[in-house]
Amino acid sequence: MLKRRIFQSRRWLCRSFSSIIHSEPVRVCVVGSGPAGCYTAEKMLKASQQAQVDIIDRLPTPFGLVRSGVAPDHPETKIVVNQFSRVAQHERCSFFGNVTLGSNVSLAELRKLYHVVVLAYGAESDRSLGIPGENLKGILSAREFVWWYNGHPDGRNLDPDLKSIDTAVILGQGNVALDVARILLRPTTELATTDIASHALSTLEESSIRVVYLVGRRGPAQAACTAKELREVLGIKNLDVSIQESDLHLTPTDEEELKSNRIHRRIFELLSKAATSRPIHAGLNQRQLRFVFFRKPDSFQESKDSTGHVSGVLFEKTVLKGVGPGKQIAVGTGEFEDLKCGMVLKSIGYKSVPVDGLPFDHKKGIVPNDKGRVLSDTSDTAVLEEGLYVCGWLKRGPTGIVATNLYCAEETVCISPFSIHIIPITVKLTEVANHTVFMFASEFLKLSLS
Amino acid sequence: MLNLNSRRLARAAISIAKHFSTRNYYTSMCRAGYSRTTPNHYDCLQPSFQQSSLFNLYKGAMFKKHNFLSTTTSNNTAEDGSEEIETISVTFVDKDGEEKLIKVPIGMSMLEAAHENDIELEGACEGSLACSTCHVIVMDVEYYNKLEDPTDEENDMLDLAFGLCETSRLGCQVIATRELDGVRLALPAATRNFAVDGYVPKPH
């Protein structure tokens, strides 16, 4: 009876005591306000009542690629900003725009100011092909082009020339490549009702591009796009889509891959249907989209008038070679062919940019980490950097959709601050508190019962 | 006693009003299309889901008065005799195995129902078939078969869902009907499977 009373009073006193201990806020800084940063902030706020989260971004406006990467004719994908806005409006959360990590504030300073720093600034650079002619005029990265039509401040001076050319080649067949192709080929009357940047809309209205090639190194069974985007591009009004039936031939490994992979299987079915069902009647000024497979870019050709402008791409034909279960790579065959064009858009992947004081894996283009906890380097003897975490593309590489960051953020938050920082401190304090309270309570009760 | 009943009535009235207001919101989202009502994206942000339900309640009352009155069913399956909406029982099972039994009015989507009952089901695109975050797993094949086949658009989004199973559906597309009474929906475990490559784990 006495023991129970002591236990109850101890529990009550401990709870009120520990609420004093826990009232010290845990200051968290999230660098980057895109999906990774916002989901991380949301989960941090939910995980701890003591967390005070500051989200910083180098742009004055938040939301990262949701604002500047999602195509203007995909407004439903942008609805998630409602959720992100609610996070930023949380009483324990603040957003600071126009703060650039590396120039306005250094990583070292942030680590001094905050208990926890989570880097979620994504990937703002591009993979390069490393082939001759890559610096010619008219060769752009898809990332820059997307920034341009989405009104990103860094893309406003791109000024692509779409008036004096009729053919564009897009290298890559992922969703970004399809987005770019769709924006180039969609009737501008349809684009006019979207939130596309007005400078891009007026340039596209004067565009003379009639043929767009989507070129991939491997075959249709390996195309990196997803069904919704492919279906959409195949359904564009007045667009003639051509796919060579010979490219649809599947190797036994292809068939194995397709059997176990739902996404690729549905993509292949869509491409097969498009190859066989479209009658080719090139009407006057009708736009054309040509899917080209098994071609690896070898070099860029300069135009004969020496203006330093690209005039074509030389490709090497490829075949698939198995390098592991379910994995085939493209190997050159020594046969070449070229495609004449006036513009090339490289859509071969984004790349993250390192900052001072941040360990970086240049091979993978990410920050070395263990489930989101930053490691000091890429060696086997790396140690954990205290209070430093990553989330999003900076952690996993530049793949995935908005929702991928949901799970990525959950992993980083679960593995992180609250299990590392708070518990050791509070365990010590609550131990002391427990002991003190117990002594006090037992003395008090002994007195009251005597 | 009287107080209790009038409180229950008030609660019921509020839940009915909320149900219709949120339904109107979803219908207008899906039918009208987001782009026609969206101003320049950089100028302002859309009102949040919860804030606009009040506005839509007003709008609903103004323009769809007949809806408000005529769809109330007379069949009463709720224990509480003062409620006028027919509901079904739905159990949500979270990733830790914890179960929550809720009442879902007929015609409401599982995503809406989850949000109204504070169940942690994400809905990033708020029911526009533009994401896969409201992914649920129908635990019994019999109930799964009672549902209409997913459209191409839903299948496109399911392709990208994490922890995809044979009986997976998007919560915003599963609408409560009488035959779904007693359905059990599992929230998928957050797996460390980040590759968008269609990896299908075995159903569990």
pLDDT of residue A280: 55
DSSP-derived 3-state class of residue A322: strand
CATH number of the domain that residue A386 is part of: 3.40.50.720
Q: Which residues are CB-neighbours of B127 under 8 A, at least 6 positions away?
A: B26, B29, B30, B109, B111, B112, B134, B172
B-chain residue closest to A411, CA distance: B192
Whether residue A334 is found in the same domain as residue A443 = no
State the average pLDDT over residues A234-255: 93
State the average pLDDT over residues A14-37: 76
Cβ–Cβ below 8 Å for B155 and A410:
no
Whether residue A234 is found in the same domain as residue A216 = yes
pLDDT at A436 over 90: no
Asked if residue A15 belongs to a domain, the reply is no
At which residue do the structure tokens 């039936």 appear?
A245
Whether residue A131 is found in the same domain as residue A119 = no
Q: Binding-site residues of A, please?
A: 36, 65, 101, 173-176, 217-218, 229, 393, 400
Over residues A60-90, the pLDDT tens digits come to: 999 999 999 999 999 999 999 999 999 999 9
Domains contained in chain A, number: 2
pLDDT of residue A390: 97
Alpha carbons B195 and A287: distance in angstroms, whole number: 34
At which residue do the structure tokens 């797996």 appear?
B191
The residue among B185, B202, B35 whose CA lies nearest residue B117 is B185
Cβ–Cβ below 8 Å for B36 and A151:
no
| End residue of a domain, out of A346, A370, A390 | A346
Over residues A263-297, the pLDDT tens digits come to: 999 999 999 999 987 665 556 678 999 999 999 99
Asked if residue A3 belongs to a domain, the reply is no
Q: If you average pLDDT over every residue of chain B, what do you get? A: 71
pLDDT of residue B48: 43
pLDDT at B21 over 70: no
**For A11-20, A239-248, B32-41, which range has the lowest pLDDT when averaged over its residues?**
B32-41
CB A300 within 8 A of CB A344: yes
Over residues B46-95, the pLDDT tens digits come to: 444 444 444 444 444 444 444 444 444 444 444 454 457 899 999 999 98
Whether residue A410 is found in the same domain as residue A324 = no
The H or E element containing residue A54 is strand A51-56
Facing residue for A263 by CB, picked from B48, B125, B159:
B159
Task: Kindly state the percentage of chain A with pLDDT values over 70.
Answer: 85
Compare B198 and A438 and report the one with higher pLDDT: A438
Over residues B125-137, the pLDDT tens digits come to: 999 999 999 999 9
Compare A175 and B96 and report the one with higher pLDDT: A175
Asked if residue A118 belongs to a domain, the reply is yes
| End residue of a domain, out of A346, A363, A389 | A346
Chain B residues inside the 8 Å CB shell of A86: 48
Q: Count of CB contacts below 8 A, A vs B?
A: 118
Alpha carbons A33 and A146: distance in angstroms, whole number: 19
Q: Binding-site residues of A for NADP(+), please?
A: 173-176, 217-218, 229, 400
Over residues A311-346, the pLDDT tens digits come to: 999 999 999 999 988 789 999 999 999 999 999 999
CATH topology of domain B87-186: Ubiquitin-like (UB roll) (3.10.20)
Alpha carbons B16 and A103: distance in angstroms, whole number: 54
Asked if residue A18 belongs to a domain, the reply is no
Q: Does B41 touch chain A (CB under 8 A)?
A: yes
CB A80 within 8 A of CB B131: yes
Q: Around Cβ A362, how many Cβ atoms within 10 Å?
A: 10
Asked if residue A12 belongs to a domain, the reply is no
State the average pLDDT over residues A410-434: 57
Asked if residue A334 belongs to a domain, the reply is yes
Task: Kindly state the percentage of chain B with pLDDT values over 90.
Answer: 48
pLDDT of residue B65: 44
Å between B104 CA and nearest CA of chain A: 24
For B:60-99, CB contacts with A below 8 A are none
Residues facing residue A329 across a β-bridge: A321
**For A135-144, A277-286, B36-45, which range has the lowest pLDDT when averaged over its residues?**
B36-45
Cβ–Cβ below 8 Å for A82 and B49:
yes
Whether residue A173 is found in the same domain as residue A296 = yes
| End residue of a domain, out of A301, A329, A346 | A346
Domain enclosing residue A255, as ranges: 127-346
Cβ–Cβ below 8 Å for A231 and B198:
no
- Residue A100: φ, ψ to 5°: -100, 125
Whether residue A118 is found in the same domain as residue A136 = no
Asked if residue A208 belongs to a domain, the reply is yes
End-to-end CA distance of chain B: 47
Give the predicted TM-score (pTM) of the model.
0.78
Chain A residues inside the 8 Å CB shell of B198: 261-265
Q: Does A10 touch chain B (CB under 8 A)?
A: no
Instruction: Quote ipTM for the complex.
Output: 0.83
Whether residue A116 is found in the same domain as residue A131 = no
Alpha carbons A76 and A78: distance in angstroms, whole number: 5
Asked if residue A175 belongs to a domain, the reply is yes
State the average pLDDT over residues A29-37: 98
Whether residue A153 is found in the same domain as residue A291 = yes
The residue among A151, A52, A61, A53 whose CA lies nearest residue A97 is A61
Whether residue A390 is found in the same domain as residue A407 = yes
At which residue do the structure tokens 């990733």 appear?
B95
Per-domain boundaries in chain B: 87-186
Chain A residues inside the 8 Å CB shell of B41: 67, 72, 75, 78, 195
Whether residue A92 is found in the same domain as residue A211 = no
Whether residue A330 is found in the same domain as residue A357 = no
Whether residue A207 is found in the same domain as residue A227 = yes
State the average pLDDT over residues A412-439: 54
pLDDT of residue A422: 42
pLDDT of residue A24: 81
pLDDT of residue A276: 87
Q: Around Cβ A182, how many Cβ atoms within 10 Å?
A: 20
State the average pLDDT over residues A96-115: 97
Cβ–Cβ below 8 Å for B152 and A408:
no
Residues facing residue B183 across a β-bridge: B90
